[in-house]
């Protein structure tokens, strides 16, 4: 799939009120300050949040284990690309380099983000995806930081 890709940053992990209760989201922002939410699971939210805060758990979480395995295999994550939005579901690919060979893995965006943050890998998104999913600040007025629930 071709098209323009943009590097994004992670604004943070938040909770947004939905029925029957709050739902975790991760907010991505491009250089033009457009914001895009991705709804994620609570374990991925905690993992992304801990990576953003540079917290090291006493025992490795799944994403830490994956990064450790990559390191032991002398592999790196080149980048991740969130490249598709289909019926409300985001799709991502993780570019891996192992023994000089480059390949891609299909991955959930939430897992990809958690791993990329731990590896220092850039996070990219296809322009067509962010254009379709961008939200206004007004739509985010009821979000609260995840820390307010876990502190």
Supply the pLDDT for residue 2.
67
Determine contact, residues 36/26, Cβ cutoff 8 Å: no
Output phi, psi for 56, to 5 deg. -115, 115
Distance CA 77, CA 103 (A): 10
Sequential DSSP letters for 41-107? -HHHHHHHHHHHTT---SS--HHHHHHHHHHHTTEEEEEEEEEEEETTEEEEEEEEEETTEEEEEEE
Mean pLDDT of the chain: 94
Supply the pLDDT for residue 1.
53
Supply the pLDDT for residue 29.
97
Domain spans in the chain, listed from the N-terminal domain onward: 5-150
Q: Which CATH architecture has domain 5-150?
A: Roll (3.10)
The encoded tokens of residue 52 equal 């953003």
Determine contact, residues 116/3, Cβ cutoff 8 Å: no
Supply the pLDDT for residue 92.
98
Determine contact, residues 47/86, Cβ cutoff 8 Å: no
Tens digits of pLDDT across the chain (151 residues): 568 999 999 999 999 988 788 899 999 999 999 999 999 999 999 999 999 999 988 999 999 999 999 999 999 999 999 999 999 999 999 999 999 999 999 999 999 999 999 999 999 999 999 999 999 988 898 899 998 877 6
The encoded tokens of residue 15 equal 């909770």
């Amino acid at each position: 799939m071709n098209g323009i890709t943009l590097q994004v940053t992670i604004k943070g992990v938040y909770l947004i009120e939905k029925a029957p209760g709050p739902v975790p989201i991760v907010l991505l922002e491009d250089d033009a300050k457009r914001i895009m939410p991705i709804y994620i699971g609570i374990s991925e939210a905690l993992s992304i949040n801990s990576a953003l805060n540079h917290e090291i758990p006493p025992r490795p979480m799944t994403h830490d284990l994956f990064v450790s395995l990559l390191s032991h295999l002398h592999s790196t994550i080149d980048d991740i690309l969130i490249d598709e939005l289909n019926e409300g579901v985001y799709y991502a690919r993780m570019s891996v380099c192992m023994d000089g060979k480059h390949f891609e893995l299909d991955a959930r965006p939430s897992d990809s983000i958690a791993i990329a943050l731990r590896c220092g890998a850039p996070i990219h998104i296809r322009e067509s995806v962010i254009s379709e999913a961008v939200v206004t600040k007004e739509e985010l007025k009821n979000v609260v930081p995840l820390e307010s629930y876990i502190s």
